[in-house]
A and B are shown apart, each in its own frame.
Chain A
Amino acid sequence: MQSVATAQRVQKSQVGQRKKLKRNDRFWLSIFISPNLLMYTLFILVPSVAGILLSFCEWNILGPINWVGLENYRRLADDELLLPAFSRTLQFLILGVLPTVFGGFLIAVLLNWKVKGIGIFRAMFFLPLTISSAVAGIAWSSIFNPEAGWINRILKIFGITGPEWLASVSWALPSVTIIVIWLSLPLVIILYLAGLQRISPEILEAAALDGANAWQRVWQIIFPCVSATTILVIAIEILAFLSSPFEISLLMVQGGPLDSTTSLAYYAYKMAFEQFEVGYSAALVMVQFFALLAVALPIIQFRRYRRVRGR
């Protein structure tokens, strides 16, 4: 018994020795880490901190940087364009996140099936993952075309005159949302498929998709089993719908028509690169950051709570 304890102590001291790095080791340690840390600091940490600091300054890129304190934040209150932009960001989130998460879950449940040829269908659903926003923009602008596009063509079969989609002030935002959903679904499906694979077969059997009430069993038995994935996916999609609509809108409708797809992120971009008001633009980005924090903190707290409770 005692000898075991001694052996353990010896082992521990050996580990302790290994933990002390010699000078030669420190040389290689810095070679391995410094370039990475330098680049990371220069291009990620410094710009992030600079972004925060610039929100307290006034700068038109060419002139000097002036510290103006809270002036930019005071200006937010008088900005008539801020609230509409903020509301459009919210609309992107509300219209986009839940359909992506629930739709992705349902498709993953359908695809989680050991049957010949399922790989082809999976690959079809994963495909938009490889498509750039530019190519998606080209493909979808033909689909959404008010006259010659397929959506309005099919609606017409049912006697419905479709809207002008991307050219319409009220439909452009939902149209951009649909494209972002399409681009985001593959990732959600892949994550849910991975999550479903971790459920024990007995549970899945009990929730077998055939027979009556399959729909109910999917939501009552399978969905709770992948709740960890759901929380992760919601977090990822909130971030995605804060930034991706900006890129799609920039590519397809340049924030229009009549600013109807100008989200907060897009508004901040315009402020910096069209009006050259870098400081105010930074303040706008901070608004989004604080709004995100307000959403994210409860989620993080909830995850911690679940972890403590052991799921």
Chain B
Amino acid sequence: MASTVLFTQKRSANFLRYSVITLLSVLFIFPLIYLISGSLMSLDEVQVYPPRLLPSSLNWENFVEAFSVMTPRIFFNTLFFTFGILILQLILSFTAGFALAKMPFKYAALIVALFAIPVFLPTNISIIPLYLVTYKLGLLNTWGGMILPIVGSTAFGTLLFRQFMVNFPDGLIDAARIDGASWPRVLFRIVLPLAKPPIASYSAITFLTAWNMYIWPLMVGSREELRVATVQLAPLIAGGTGFYGKVGPNVTYAAALLSALPVVLFFLWAQRWFINAIAGTGNDS
């Protein structure tokens, strides 16, 4: 008798918890649900009052028109920007992380401390001087100016890879060294194949950050040959004025979805690596 009561109590508690989670999660992503819904409405429907929740018919042609905003060129630029940063920074941080962990030298601790500085600096302390450095190097409005200054923020990657290398078994490296393997060979043939987890975590985080970056590409590369998705979309934001650019809100929503789609799909596919990367930062502390 008592156990039945307990059982029903537990069941109703579970039901309550389930309901709360469902309600909260739908409310939480409502802005995105409406973005999808609105992207399929006709221009009249999306501007009607009171607002509609679902489109009466699916206007897929909005997405065709959205490609005039999110042109192939813009997609290419965003991909080039993102992968340029991802790959260059990966090479720099992976090699340096290895050296700092496995090639003992006098200043290793000092350099590690140097890389910990940005943790305490808000990004906007250096963004204006960074712009000036880029200007002095003659890199404004070039791919070099877009990518290289961001590649320079190697602190996160270097410390991440160093942490992984510190825990990497010395025996494997020593054995290869005794067999006469050179340092690059040790790094690329022995360490690299076993370093997939930190590389995946690093790539997930960096891909996301770079794809969504706005202020730096706006400052350095706003002309069309360099323009990335965020910079292209920014003028379409209604903001407080309710003024839209040359396309209607429905097409704007469709363009926003097109720009977000690669990251969202990549995230859903590689969710585990994102979570590991982020949760890992928490573990170190």
Measuring CB to CB, which residues of chain A are less than 8 angstroms from any residue of chain B?
Answer: 18-19, 21, 25-26, 28-29, 31-33, 35-37, 39-40, 42-48, 50-51, 54, 61, 107, 110-111, 113, 115, 118, 121, 123-143, 145-150, 153, 164-168, 172, 182, 185, 187, 190-191, 193-195, 209-211, 214, 228-229, 231-232, 239, 242-243, 246-247, 250-254, 256-257, 265, 268-269, 272-273, 278, 281-282, 285-286, 288-289, 292, 296
Contacts and interface: CB of A to CB of B under 8 A. Distances in A.
A165 to B, nearest CB: 7
B79 interface: no
A124 B237 contact: no
Given A43-B148, A45-B117, A129 B208 contact: yes
Contact of A40 (B30, B154, B211): B154
B55 interface: no
Given A194-B279, A288-B122, A172 B21 contact: no
Which applies to chain A's interface (DSSP): helix, strand, loop or mixed? Answer: helix
B199 interface: no
Instruction: Report the interface size class on chain B.
Output: 35 or more
A254 B234 CA distance: 11
Contacts of B1: none
Interface string B9-46: 11001100110111011101111101100100000000
B124 A252 contact: no
B3 interface: no
Interface in B94-140: 95-96, 98-100, 103-105, 111, 114-115, 117-118, 120-130, 132-133
B240 interface: yes
A142 B47 contact: no
A113 B13 CA distance: 13
B125 A145 contact: no
Which applies to chain B's interface (DSSP): helix, strand, loop or mixed? Answer: helix
Given A35-B95, A125-B25, 17 more contacts: A36-B93, A37-B96, A39-B92, A43-B130, A43-B148, A46-B129, A48-B126, A124-B29, A128-B28, A134-B230, A134-B233, A135-B256, A136-B31, A193-B279, A210-B14, A278-B132, A289-B121
A138 B252 contact: yes
